[in-house]
Amino acid sequence: MFIWLIPHFLLLLVLVLTCLVRSQDNAAEQTFWPSTLPLTVRSPYFSCWMMSTANLQLLEQWSRFWNYASPSKGDPFLTLQGLVIIDDKVYQWLGDWNNGGSFSAATVTRFSVTPTRTIFEMQAGPIGINITFLSPIEPSDWVSQSIPYSYVYMDVVSTDGQYHDVQVYADVSAEWVTGSRGDTIIWNTTVTSSAIYHAAVAANPTILGETAEQANDGTLYLAMTSSPSVTYQTGSDSACRGQFMVHGALENSQDTDFRSVYTNQPSFALAASLGSILSTSAPVVWVLAYVRDPTIGYVTPDGDSQQRHPYFVTKYTSSIDAVLDALANFNETSQRAQSLDNKIIQDALKISPQYADLVSLAARQVFGAIDITVSNGSDGRWNMSDTMMFMKDIGSTRRVNPVEVMYQAFPMFLYLNSSFGKPLLAPLLEYQSSLKFPLPYAAADLENTYPHAPGNNSQHSQGIEQTGTMLIMTYAHARMSGDGSLISEYYDTLRGWAEYLCNTTLNPMANSLPTNRAFQAPVILPSKESSPFKRWRK
């Protein structure tokens, strides 16, 4: 019964954000043109994108938070500015800092999208540059998966056979810290023997708050591996960039005039001098992260308000340790990401090249919509047996664990690690098995209030499909993972739902959307006679 889901994966996974256009003119080999390209996409609040354009002038624009299409929601920009100096000539590799036309932009020749990476190939004078945005997907390492970070890395190679002097630069602005652009931001820079990093937070964060869909309770990090050739600076955007343009290096200085996002835009910059080279022997790597703890406010069946924590706390005592480990693990992580990319693409190519493109684009959307969390146990330790995943209905609402959206993403979780199904379904099943939940059919979500999940008791008109969908997902998880614990724990609820479907599915006046009912009723009804769930009954 589960197999029929798979072909629907393609149709269902393409989220609202993305429509596809095909290249008309240049770059003949470029066949895949998503309207928006993922840059750093790892959690509902660390989700940075770039609009794609048909003429490959991609990178002369500011990168944006996912809600770029809703200017009414506020300023969507997440400034990420990249510069490179080649033999004293300045080029821009990302961003839209015009500076009176005092430099030119590198020419993008091609981009590609894999499940974990977006890669831009470009030419800057006599140098070929590849910039890769890598947002790892870690199906078997939930600690790493729950650290909201991405790598931005750069490879360069001389294209005229000559040695060239190369200095590279990147900065991020305080826009990444909070959606409330008037908030005062505070920041600092730390230099250790292994890393140089900037940290920035809102001076008065609203814990578990949102403004224009961005959070304002996270810590922004920008980090590089320590080396005498790496320099840092905090200051206004023009101070940092101007310093680099003139000197090819930063001042190693900190601006301590803490202020709001729009007041002389506080910017956090790291640069590296590569010397006179023919090519880089290893990529130049920046790590960018936006880490929140607590992650989610959840109401337990007892009615207690619980703050839940990112899963990585089970390994790291502070978020910066997690981020610096990510920096130190770049080699292994990027190799793991490439293997995963190859596996996913090979499998998807068995359907078609277009399907491989769509899956590549959808993979980070799925994993960028979730937070993996644990609770603090009654013994004061992290309670790993209380792992829960929350998914935000990104793009339309703030719904928490929206059942039909989870269903669309579910094949990807089952394919990568079917164990994800349990923590994803657990919050919905736990809430609806409690006495607080009055309805005979399944809820559509846990409320429209991400990152708060209080549960939703409202009657709604999709009783049949949400109920069928919950049963299908619960069964698919048990069947693919062999783990029947959800079914055994929530058997009574699931059985009640099956009974509800038996009572209502064939009733034309029943509570549902007709099209979905046509799909789901035949799937569910046989379970009355020969319930596949019984096997897992306690």
Ligand X SMILES: *[C@@H]1O[C@H](CO)[C@@H](O)[C@H](O)[C@H]1NC(C)=O
Please report how close the Cβ of residue 263 comes to ligand X at its closest, in angstroms. Answer: 19
Strand order in the sheet with 452-453: 382-391, 370-376, 305-310, 296-299, 452-453
Q: Does 72 bind ligand X (CB under 6 A)?
A: no
What are the E-state strand segments in 205-283? Answer: 210-211, 214-215, 218-225, 230-236, 259-260, 266-277
Backbone φ/ψ region at 172: left (φ over 0), alpha (ψ -120 to 50), beta:
beta
Contact predicate 444/432, CB 8 Å? no
Sign of CA dihedral 348, 351, 357, 363: negative
Q: List the x/- string, 269-298, binding to ligand X by CB under 6 A.
A: -------------x----------------
Q: Does residue 142 touch ligand X according to CB under 6 A?
A: yes
Selection from 464, 341, 479, 458 nearest residue 410 by Cα: 479
Site string for ligand X, 237-276 (x = CB under 6 A): ----------------------------------------
Closer CB to ligand X, 62 or 441, in the complex: 441
Q: Which is nearer to ligand X, 57 or 227 (CB)?
A: 227
Interface positions, 467-506, toward ligand X (CB under 6 A) = 496, 499-500, 503
Q: How many residues bind ligand X (CB under 6 A)?
A: 38
Per-residue contact string for residues 73-112; x = within reach of ligand X by CB under 6 A: ----------------------------------------
Residues 344-403 that bind ligand X (CB under 6 A): 376-380, 383, 385-386
**Which of 431, 115, 470 lies closest to 299, judged by CA?**
431
Extract the runs of DSSP E, i.e. beta strands, from 30-126: 33-34, 36-43, 46-51, 64-65, 80-86, 89-94, 104-105, 107-113, 117-124
CB of 101 to ligand X, least distance (A): 26
CA distance 17 to 64: 13
Residue 514 token pair: 């007709």
Segments in 206-314 forming alpha helices (H): 237-247
Nearer to ligand X, 18 or 456 (CB): 456
Distances (CA, A) of 388 to 156, 218, 256, 446: 42, 20, 39, 13
Q: Is position 209 an interface residue for ligand X (rule: CB under 6 A)? A: no
- Please choose, out of 16-24, 90-98, 152-160, 209-217, the segment that lies near ligand X by the rule CB under 6 A: 152-160
CB of 328 to ligand X, least distance (A): 6
Asked if the peptide bond before residue 228 counts as cis, ω within 30 degrees of 0, the response is no
Q: Which is nearer to ligand X, 456 or 469 (CB)?
A: 456
| Residues at the interface with ligand X (CB under 6 A) | 121, 128-130, 139-140, 142, 155-157, 188, 199, 201, 219, 282, 328, 331, 376-380, 383, 385-386, 417, 419, 440, 444, 447-448, 456, 458, 460, 496, 499-500, 503
